[in-house]
Amino acid sequence: MKPLHQRLNLYTNGNETYTFVPAEPVGARSLTIYRNSGDIVLNAPNAPLPVTAERSGKTIYGIFGIISLTLSEYIIIVTGRELRGRLMGQNVYRATDYDILPLNPDIQVAAPPHLVEAHLLALVRSHLAGGTFFFSYAWDLTRRLQAQWTSLKEDGDKPVWEIADDRFFWNKFLQTRLIDVTTGNPDQNLSPYILPVIYGTFDIRAERINGHHLRLCLISRRSRYRAGTRYFRRGIDEHGHVANFNETEQILLVGPDDTSVQLSFVQIRGSVPVYWAEINTLRYKPDVQIMDLADNVTDAMRRHFKENTSIYGEQSLVNLVNQKGHEQPVKEAYEKYVAQVNMPNVRYEYFDFHNECKHMRWDRIDVLLSKLEEDLTRYGYFHLDSAKPEPVRLQTGTVRTNCMDNLDRTNVAQSAIAKWMLNQQLRALGLLHETDTINNYAQFMQDFREMWTDHANQISIAYSGTGALKTDFTRTGERTRKGLLEDGWNSVMRYLKNNFFDGARQDAFDLITGSYVPRRGYVPVSLIRDSRPLIIRAVPYALSFSLFMILAGLTLPRTSDYSLVYYFLLWFVLLALSLVFAFAYGIEYVSWPKLVPLTHVIYYNGPGFRSARSGMGFSIPLPALEKLGTQGRKLAEMHRRTKSKLDAVEMGTKERVD
């Protein structure tokens, strides 16, 4: 695999060019991007710089990519990095800081000439600041160890971007311009500048067991397909991609040399692979929507499992969704379609997590392990010994775990499975006796728990906006009351973020991954304009003002002996009416994504199941509010139609471009 340039110096020639010059090796071909035309040119070795070129004071650690917005293209560069460890003798970094360079000479990133361009740039910046992005210049972080070994010969001297796993090459859409130049002209090989980045987690720690030195590494890789936030990306799409798909690889390296003995165990997680959604309505539990599209569902599910089995081998599907209450329809839909596709090498296993582990009986997770033990033993793990020409063994299958969000329950289950497999690996290497476990090694066990807890939190933050729940069990092996309080706080924060802030987060995902491509030269003002009916926009102000007046009446000193009963009655009635109206029209107050609207999901009226149709107006109008409710429904319907028309006209291209 050809290594990448690790440091670049940036030279700006007025409004004409950006030139990136590798700090080493001396004489390497520099890269020039022309600002007016957008042309990208790989210069001859030792090509001189323009006399008027000025060097930037910052060192650049890689080009994250190039993104096109409505008024200009922008180069995203990595200007800060943090060393997170070494894997197979190669440094692994986390990107910590970025700069955005406009190609249009008339645009300043700090003060764009239009509010829409400023809005889109803010989305880009928020995604970069909120994500956890890792990269290596000489090691392919996108692929697990077994995949790298099996394709070792055919990879040869190919550049890392060409052999990277397409699913986990997070910035591939942003690298499209550089890749197109490289593939279109053999003399313009920009491969040393194309830096693949993963969105996920990376942790590696030195350990010691019975006098043996080893290193434990945990990597998660988030798929760029169907990427997004908790309530705005659920289920599967027609291509077989599921929401919140993550591959987790636990690596064990034994001996003084990282490459001496390598063991790897892989698990995956992903949303329930049917067409389903949860519709935010301001209520704590959203409306569950199952879209029973028959052949479409089975085709998509079959594609999903076919891809997984071709990559990982056999599949054990572990479903942790509740069998009663709010989650029951999702469980039943999953089981219905799994039975219909009836694919070989795919086995379904249901585990009622909350029922089995109720009353803080977290040891009951062993029941799940006992059900999976035969499969896990058969699947095994990847084991490579450098003293032998072939791997000692290969992993021939994997466990695919899901709950509703693929976060909290999934984290507990995956960490338990990983611990079970780690014990098997250490025993096979002779580092543990047959009856010995890592529980007997306090420091090792503490590191294992911390790694899995940090891993759980980062995956959860990316999807839900907060840390994971139940991490006290992952960190300590016990469920505690302090953990319950922390879970309560995180649940409240999830509610607030998922209802009032995730629309912009989803827009940022869609922009970075290419699910939405802005149309150059056209500025869609609907992105920043609030076109909801006046009464919808006025209610939050009425609610806030009435709450303010109540607090003022309770706290400010009184200057009169008159009773405040009628005063409080007035403002409490206004507060109550505002709350009733807000929850009745809850859908109008949720922060929805605007780049790729979800109108077809929110107002779906085809075959399937919906737990309720909340937040769409007064379905049973109160006598005093009947007229208001009727008018409100008409306004909401008119608003919905208007939004759909605006979306169709102004949203630009929505097809993914890779």
Beta strands in 14-146 (DSSP E): 17-22, 31-34, 40-42, 54-60, 62-68, 73-87, 90-102, 133-135
Sign, CA torsion 24/26/29/33: positive
Residues in the chain: 658
Q: Which amino acid is at 648?
A: A
What is the token pair recorded at 339? 């039975």
| DSSP designation for 165 | -
Which pLDDT belongs to residue 181? 97
Residue of 348, 345, 327, 323 lying closest to 337 (CA atoms): 348
Cβ pair 346, 309 in contact under 8 A? yes
Sites in the chain below the pLDDT cut of 70: 258, 474, 618-658
3 state DSSP class of 53: coil
Side-by-side strand order, sheet with 287-291: 276-279, 287-291, 608-610
Whether the model clears a pTM of 0.75, i.e. scores above it, the answer is: yes
- Give 489-500 pLDDT, tens digit per residue: 889 999 999 999
What is d(CA 82, CA 20) in angstroms, rounded to the nearest whole number? 21
Which pLDDT belongs to residue 478? 73
Cα–Cα distances (Å) from 249 to 10, 269, 595, in that order, read: 36, 12, 33
Please, is 25 exposed, middle or buried when counting C-beta atoms within 10 Å of its C-beta (0-12, 13-18, 19+)?
exposed
Q: Kindly report the backbone phi and psi dihedral angles of residue 322, in degrees, each rounded to the nearest multiple of 5, phi listed first.
A: -60, 145
What lies within 8 Å, CB to CB, of 170 at 6+ separation is 133, 196, 197, 198, 199, 222, 224, 513
For the chain, percent of residues with pLDDT exceeding 70: 93
Which pLDDT belongs to residue 593? 97
Cα–Cα distances (Å) from 564 to 542, 572, 573, in that order, read: 20, 12, 14
What is d(CA 244, CA 250) in angstroms, rounded to the nearest whole number? 19
Residue of 268, 253, 142 lying closest to 195 (CA atoms): 142
What is the token pair recorded at 621? 């109008």
Query: Residue 25, preceding bond cis, omega within 30 degrees?
Result: yes
DSSP 498-541: HHHTHHHHHHHHHHHHTSSBPPTT---GGGT---S-HHHHHHHH
Which pLDDT belongs to residue 619? 55
- Give 257-301 pLDDT, tens digit per residue: 767 899 999 999 999 999 999 999 999 999 999 999 878 999 999
DSSP 401-444: EE-SSSSHHHHHHHHHHHHHHHHHHHHHTTSS-TT--GGG-HHH
Residue of 35, 66, 152, 130 lying closest to 509 (CA atoms): 130
Please write down the HEC assignment for all residues of 544-608: HHHHHHHHHHHHCCCCCCCCCHHHHHHHHHHHHHHHHHHHHCHHHHCCCCCCCCCHHHHCCCCCE
**C-alpha radius of gyration, the chain, whole number:** 27
What is the token pair recorded at 178? 């550089």
| DSSP designation for 29 | P
What is d(CA 120, CA 188) in angstroms, rounded to the nearest whole number? 31
What is d(CA 430, CA 211) in angstroms, rounded to the nearest whole number? 12
Alpha helices per DSSP H over 216-352 = 295-312, 328-341
Cβ pair 266, 248 in contact under 8 A? yes
Residue 258: count other Cβ atoms within 10 Å of its Cβ.
18
Which pLDDT belongs to residue 3? 83
Which pLDDT belongs to residue 76? 99
Which pLDDT belongs to residue 623? 40
